[in-house]
Copies of this chain bind each other. A is one copy, B any other.
Amino acid sequence: MRNNREERREGLRERLLAVTTARIESQGLSQLKARDITAEAGCALGALYTAFGDMDELVMRVNTATLIRMRELIAPVKGETPVARLQAQARAYIAFAMEHPRLWAALFEFQLSPERALPDWMQAEQEALMGLIAGPLAQVFPALPPEDLLIRVRIFFGAVQGAVQLALQDRFIAVPRARLDAEITALVEALCRGFAS
């Protein structure tokens, strides 16, 4: 049975992914150890390397799954206007970040070795997430050529992401949820109104 083999292999992969996701969510990326993961998953240390190339790949699989979860949350968000839609999307982003702070933090705490290439499947998901705001942004800036829109999307996404990150992980100035929502909503409004279309 070829089937049986691949099923077992896939089962191990899924168990490892689930355990790793749970451990990142409960203790953070920095506390992640291969020995803890395999012990909790009920397999040998070396088994991890039969399912994934290395720890980096495992973490990137978890992060990609996180990006997918975020995309599935943000994609259906609607709005009466393109701007209202972008604002609602930003609030959905905040909601996820506050609900799963360590999973969300792992997205940027993880640093791939500089010489290694980002896997296609992760790059694709990053672009898919950014693609969610490309549509509304194209409506807000109808005169912008496609290649300029790519840059604008990144500036926009980076601005929202950076503001949320600084607000949420600042240890000294606690920003209440409602206040953060209001600030980021205003931020999106400002970006849409203020940029040259």
**Chain A contacts to B: CB under 8 angstroms:** 28, 30, 108-109, 111, 113-114, 118, 123, 150-152, 154-167, 170-173, 175, 179, 183-184, 186-187, 189-196
Top 3 nearest A-B pairs by Cβ distance? A162-B162, A190-B194, A158-B166
Closest to A184 in B: B155
Given the interface contacts A186-B195, A193-B193, A193-B194, does A166 sit within 8 Å of B179 by beta carbon? no
Number of copies: 2
Q: Is the CB of B172 within 8 A of A155?
A: no
A–B pairs, 12, beta carbons within 8 Å:
A28-B114, A30-B111, A118-B171, A151-B183, A152-B183, A154-B166, A155-B187, A162-B163, A162-B166, A187-B194, A190-B193, A191-B191
The CA-CA distance from A167 to B130 in the complex, in Å, is: 13
Q: Is the CB of B158 within 8 A of A162?
A: yes
Closest to A188 in B: B194
Q: Is the CB of A157 within 8 A of B166?
A: yes
